[in-house]
A and B are shown apart, each in its own frame.
Chain A
């Protein structure tokens, strides 16, 4: 089955700096890659996603890039703010699979701390 590895497990940045979180996946058939943000005591929330037919997607200060050849995708947060502090999870799935590959497989999470 799919295996998603996420790095780093913890990341501290100064307010205003950029943060990058990277994930690699094992199943070349995976074609859907969402990112979730989970603040302390809250539910994970979908913040951005990308499908394999595009290489990059942006939403204000957040961007995701996808390299299908290398099987990795990354979350980029620019001009970080203290409210960006949270755990971020990446995930992957194959939207066209009829089997278990259709289930989202999550990375282990990255604790991002933005220092004021």
Chain B
């Protein structure tokens, strides 16, 4: 089976812009979770989607949003970008909620 894929892999944006990141889970996986990882930081949970519904949300401002499509693919959107949003954004898929998660390669977002 193909692994989790994320596009784009690298992105450079300027403050105030918005960005959309995409995640394609492993075939058959229905849960997609998103994480933000900054240098020296751990995995900060953004949100989880299952069956096209947001099931959990981390402690991030409303500028961060997401959605999941009927084929389980997920997108996350960050509006009004700030310098502090520069990070590696990882998505992870699992066959069901709470089960082992498999991570994608991440999208490296740089905000200038």
Chain A residues with CB under 8 Å of chain B are: 32, 34, 36, 42-46, 49, 89, 93-97, 100, 102-109
Docked-complex contact B103 and A44, CB < 8 angstroms = yes
Complex Cα distance A102/B101, Å? Answer: 12
Residue of A whose beta carbon sits closest to that of B97: A102
Residues in chain B near residue A105, CB distance under 8 A: 45
Q: Bound complex: CA of A36 vs CA of B104, how far in Å? A: 13
Closest chain A residue to B58, Cβ basis: A103
Check B42–A109 contact: CB distance below 8 A. Answer: yes
B84 at the interface (CB under 8 A from A): no
B74: min CB distance to chain A, Å? 15
How many angstroms from the CA of A109 to the CA of B39 in the assembled complex?
12
Alpha-carbon distance A65/B33, docked complex (angstroms):
26
Verify B98–A32 contact, CB threshold 8 A. yes
Q: Are A32 and B103 CB-contacts (below 8 A) given A43-B90, A106-B43, A108-B42?
A: no
Inside 8 A of A104's CB, which chain B residues have their CB? 33, 98, 101
Cα(A49)–Cα(B100), bound, Å = 8
Chain A residues contacting B99 (CB-CB under 8 Å) are 32, 95
Known: A43-B90, A89-B43. A103 touches B100 (CB 8 A): no
Q: Is B55 positioned at the interface, with any CB of A under 8 Å from its CB?
A: yes
How close is B44's CB to chain A, nearest CB, in angstroms? 9
**CB–CB A106/B42 < 8 A:** yes
B48 within 8 A of A: yes
B42→A103 contact, CB < 8 A: no
A-B contacts, 27 of them at CB < 8 A, read A32-B100, A34-B100, A36-B103, A43-B90, A43-B103, A43-B105, A43-B106, A46-B100, A49-B100, A89-B42, A93-B98, A94-B98, A95-B98, A96-B98, A97-B98, A100-B55, A102-B55, A102-B97, A102-B98, A103-B33, A103-B45, A103-B48, A103-B55, A104-B101, A106-B42, A108-B42, A109-B42
